[in-house]
């Protein structure tokens, strides 16, 4: 194998840009081709994610390696810590796993789509190592807050 060749396990996907896609009647959503591994189907973890005062603002989507990292962090937390237990319960009940089909779509579970108010259209926002799925109106509101935080946020790098 040449230096430039990579196998599927070594493939690195960066989630960048913003996409707007429609959902079909079965709540299937197209994942951008740049965000899908070359080997085809992949299992993603969806978490109903809070933003600001909204307890169920959007769906956070974790690729397998990011889900494994989160699970390791959760397992390292003490069982005697009530906050850690609450977090484990919340993530347990507010998450689900979905697999992309051969066409590169995922089917949003009904309860998750309803919680995040995702119906006919969704905005997919890249977060470099993961991405979010938003109701377009909710995203517009959240985006205004992001713009306000931008000057301070960019100081982090």
Instruction: Convert the pLDDT of each residue in 113-123 to its tens digit.
Output: 999 999 999 99
pLDDT confidence of residue 39? 80
Residue 5 lies in a domain: no
Confidence of residue 145 (pLDDT cuts 50, 70, 90): confident
Taken in order 83, 89, 94, 99, the sign of the CA dihedral is positive
> Does residue 75 form part of some domain?
yes
Mean pLDDT to the nearest integer, 58-66 = 96
Indicate the SS3 state at residue 83.
Answer: helix
What pTM was estimated for this model as a whole? 0.89
Task: Give the residue numbers spanning the domain of 19.
Answer: 13-149
Is residue 7 included in any domain, yes or no? no
> Is residue 3 in a domain?
no
Report d(CA 113, CA 101) in Å as an integer.
18
Q: Identify the CATH number of the domain in which residue 99 sits.
A: 3.40.1550.20
pLDDT interval class at 130 (50, 70, 90)? very high
Of the candidates 67, 63, 66, 60, the residue with the CA atom closest to the CA atom of residue 132: 60
Backbone phi, psi, residue 90, to 5°:
-60, -50
Q: Say if 6 falls within a structural domain.
A: no
Residue 131 CA to residue 18 CA, distance in Å, equals 10
Tokens of 36: 């899908």
Is there a domain that residue 63 lies in?
yes
Q: What is the mean pLDDT of residues 130-145?
A: 94
Residues 6+ apart with CB under 8 A from 113: 23, 27, 119
For helices 82-93 and 64-76, angle between their N-to-C axes, nearest 10 degrees: 150
Is position 43 within any domain?
A: yes
Query: Residue 18: inside a domain, yes or no?
Result: yes
Count of structural domains within the chain = 1
């Amino acid at each position: 194998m040449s230096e430039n060749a990579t196998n599927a396990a070594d493939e690195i996907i960066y989630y960048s840009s913003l996409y707007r896609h429609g959902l079909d009647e079965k709540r299937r959503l197209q994942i951008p081709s740049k965000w899908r591994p070359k080997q085809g189907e992949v299992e993603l973890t969806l978490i109903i994610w809070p933003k600001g005062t909204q307890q169920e603002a959007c769906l956070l989507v974790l690729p397998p390696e990011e889900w494994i990292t989160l699970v390791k962090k959760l397992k390292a937390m003490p069982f005697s810590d009530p906050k850690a237990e609450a977090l484990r319960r919340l993530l347990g009940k507010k998450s689900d796993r979905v697999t992309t089909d051969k066409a590169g779509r995922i089917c949003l579970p009904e309860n998750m789509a309803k919680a995040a108010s995702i119906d006919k259209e969704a905005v997919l926002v890249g977060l470099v190592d993961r991405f979010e799925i938003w109701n377009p109106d909710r995203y517009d509101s959240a985006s205004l807050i992001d713009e306000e935080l931008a000057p301070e946020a960019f100081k982090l790098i």
